[in-house]
Amino acid sequence: MSDVSLETIVSLAKRRGFVFQASEIYGGLGGFYDYGPLGVELVNNLKQEWWKAMVREHDNIFGVDGAIIQNPKLWEASGHVAGFTDPLVEDTVTHKRYRADHLAGVDSNDLEELTRLLKDKKSPDGNPLGPVRTFNMMMKTFIGPVEDTESIAYLRPETAGSIFTNYENVRETMRAKLPFGIAQIGKAFRNEISPRDFIFRVRELEQMEMQYFIRPETQEKTYEEWREFAWKFLVERLGIDEENLQWHEHDENERAHYAAAAHDIYFKYPQGFKELWGTHNRTDYDLGAHMKVSGKDLQYFDDATRERFTPYVIESSVGVGRMLMAVLVDAYHEEEVNGEKRVVLKLKPSLAPYRVAVSPLLKNKPELVAKAHEVYATLKKEFGNVMWDDNGNIGKRYRRQDEIGTPYCVVIDFDTLEGDTKDTVTVRNRDTTEQKRVAIDQLIKELN
């Protein structure tokens, strides 16, 4: 991977239809983004790959899709109402707000420490800073016709909440025995003080999470297994270069008070190595907290040992946006071909927004266009994500397809229509730029 700047990735994402600023015609809205035609295809491929590896390839992991708004007591039990906070500091002149720990250059929520470190510092605009305060990041809303304290609800700050409250439902309906997991892909909302770095830190995000319920004595072994799963998924299923990944272990000051262990996989983003995928040992905190607040018995009874206990939980969690950004950065390459710069996204074929692009050599030759449409229809039926491209000369088409990560281009030319090469096409490989003739009836096999 070449060292690519954040500006380059943002430009590519906008220019080629991966990611747009939300409400752009109105000046946008900080921390909110829309996925364009290619972005939504890539995102769906990433989610499908995760779901296949996490749920469909495991007999004891089951999916749910919880509501975005839940009973507020859920978030009281989980500790989010009281503790889902970040340290905030305000520019006393512009009234812009910033994360105090980011300005201080430390990873800390200690208000006294942050106040001391920021005592003589100015804001990014050069103005005095106000006092360090805590700021709850949950987004509030109201349920019902009256907006009062009784009708306050929250947009969920994470997807794990409905997994824990559905633990007993899943266990009973699926006749699940420990160990088993519950997985979910869904939106979460965090009122970040200072969203930044494109889609890395946003206010509306999508998470892919799995909570794995286990006997306490198996926690260390299971924890290492899910750490290995995360690493192998990124390297083998997504094709990310291992040199762009590293482990970060949370120390006692970083991890949640209830966590016995926490590791993040960091990816080398343009802004440096930052967290991508978390594996956490949440102990029995979550089910225990929900039992206390709800009054429901969520303990597990083991028929074999006749024991009753609260299961421990190993969490595997990754953000869709951060995964998309990591894949784009890792796949981005700049090369020189015939004295010209070539930008190419070397995405795995299974992830690419389009598996193949089909082109007639000349779009003003009806016989070429007709044959190309026949080939296009055949491939479309097989792969689904096939692009028709007849805009510009063939060289420009190749460069355009390279830049959006299309693994193969199929060109129908005059040799397709007659002579010894009749019913063959040119297939061009994205990564090698090599071209070869392939019989139309062998195309599907060649492109698989």
Phi and psi at residue 247, in whole multiples of 5°?
-90, 145
pTM comes to: 0.90
CATH, domain range 85-136: 3.30.40.230
Query: What was the pLDDT predicted at 149?
Result: 82
pLDDT value at 214 more than 80: yes
Task: Tell me the β-bridge partners of 91.
Answer: 129
For 190, 262, 285, 292, 358, the CA distances from 258, given in Å and listed in that order, are 21, 11, 6, 15, 55
Q: How far apart are CA 439 and CA 416, in angstroms?
A: 9
pLDDT value at 244 more than 70: yes
User: For 300-333, what is each residue's pLDDT tens digit?
Assistant: 999 999 999 999 999 999 999 999 999 999 999 9
pLDDT value at 2 more than 60: no
Band (pLDDT 50/70/90 cuts) for residue 1 is very low
User: For 338-354, what is each residue's pLDDT tens digit?
Assistant: 888 899 999 999 999 99
Q: Which residue has the tokens 């512009």?
A: 94
Q: How far apart are CA 370 and CA 372, in angstroms?
A: 5
Sign of the CA dihedral running 417, 421, 425, 431: negative
Domain coordinates of the chain in residue numbers? 6-75+140-328, 85-136, 354-447
Structural contact between residues 245 and 266, judged by C-beta atoms closer than 8 angstroms = yes
Task: Tell me the β-bridge partners of 425.
Answer: 438
Helix (H) or strand (E) holding 357: strand 356-360
Q: How far apart are CA 134 and CA 89, in angstroms?
A: 9
pLDDT value at 430 more than 70: yes
User: For 96-154, what is each residue's pLDDT tens digit?
Assistant: 888 898 899 887 878 889 999 998 899 999 999 999 988 888 899 999 998 888 899 99
CATH, domain range 6-75+140-328: 3.30.930.10
**Residues contacting 241, CB < 8 A, separation 6+:** 1, 330
Burial, 40: exposed, middle or buried (Cβ in 10 Å; 0-12, 13-18, 19+)?
middle
Highest mean pLDDT among 48-57, 86-95, 132-141, 390-399: 48-57
User: Hey, what amino acid is at 430?
Assistant: R
User: For 108-124, what is each residue's pLDDT tens digit?
Assistant: 878 889 999 998 899 99
CATH architecture of 354-447: 3-Layer(aba) Sandwich (3.40)
User: For 29-54, what is each residue's pLDDT tens digit?
Assistant: 999 999 999 999 999 999 999 999 99
Band (pLDDT 50/70/90 cuts) for residue 336 is confident
Give the closest residue to 325 by CA, choosing from 43, 17, 23, 16.
43
User: Hey, what amino acid is at 213?
Assistant: F
Phi and psi at residue 260, in whole multiples of 5°?
-85, -25
Read off the tokens for 409: 């281009």
pLDDT value at 254 more than 90: no
